[in-house]
Structure formats: C-alpha cells, structure tokens
Amino acid sequence: MIAAVMFIAIMPFIAVFGDSTQGWRRHALQGWLVFVCGAYFVGFWIRGGQTLPMKTWRMRVVRWDGAGLGVWRAIHRYVIAVLGFVAMGCGFLWALFDRDGQFLHDRLAGTAIIDAGAEPGAAQRFSAR
C-alpha cells in the first residue's frame, strides 16, 4: 500500500521538477517521500489507530493506557521509527531483546501494538509469537 502512495506522490514531483536522479532534486524527492509517508502513517494512526494493512492483520496502535494516538504522539512515533530504520534497522531489531517485544519507537513514544480483534477496552498487546 505504501508503495502505491509513494508512486502517486512521485508523479507531481517529477512533473514540477523534472529529472530527480541526482543533485538537490534527488534529496528534495527523498525528503518529499519521507513527508508523504509520514502523512500517510500519522493520518491513519490518529484516525482509528490502523493503516489498511494493519486492519487486515487485526492490529492497532494505541497509547500505553489504551487510548488513541494524538497528532504529536503519532508524529513522534513516526520520526523515531524513521530514525530506527535509518540506523540499519536497530529500532526494529530492538523488539528481539525487549521484555515486552515492543519496537524501540513504541517504547520511546509510549505506544503499543495491540490485537484489534480483542474486546473494546482490553489493552492486550499484539503478539506475533
């Protein structure tokens, strides 16, 4: 799904700036795609806590107390996730060693991924094990 969003975001950028394979245009395109992906994730997280694939997998992102994410917490989670990805995936590998199996961006942002199929109000963490 995110690949489709990125392809659609690239079209107007190329139409305005032309060839973006090198120089400042390449960096501007990369920044644009990070922004567009952030808007996609933050938008879905604050409106129900689920992206479209998360709905399929019955997962939801919530605050540690079970409430929905606000705009700033969702942005915070996204920025930390991007930094964890850029750091050779260390933010995601963190889950292998975390006592609750949480990603580093969830731990630092005060969020958790839960089973969306659980009863409302039951803040059970989603377990992939």
3 state DSSP class of 35: helix
Residue 19 to residue 82: CA distance in whole angstroms: 26
3 state DSSP class of 60: strand
pLDDT for position 118: 75
Give me Rg for the CA atoms of the chain: 16
Do 74 and 42 form a contact (C-beta atoms < 8 A)?
Answer: yes
Residue 29 to residue 20: CA distance in whole angstroms: 7
Do 118 and 126 form a contact (C-beta atoms < 8 A)?
Answer: no
Burial 69-86 (b: 16+ CB within 10 A, else e): beeebbbbbbbbbbebee
Please report, as a single letter, which amino acid is at residue 89.
G
pTM: 0.88
**Helix H or strand E segment including 53:** helix 52-56
Q: Any idea where the domains of the chain sit in the sequence?
A: 2-115
pLDDT per residue rounded down to tens, the chain (129 residues) = 899 999 999 999 999 999 999 999 999 999 999 999 999 999 999 999 999 999 999 999 999 999 999 999 999 999 999 999 999 999 999 999 999 999 999 999 999 999 988 766 555 554 443
3 state DSSP class of 62: strand
The torsion angle over the Cα atoms of residues 72, 73, 75 and 80, rounded to 10 degrees, is: 140
Q: Which residue's structure tokens are 């750091």?
A: 87
pLDDT for position 124: 54
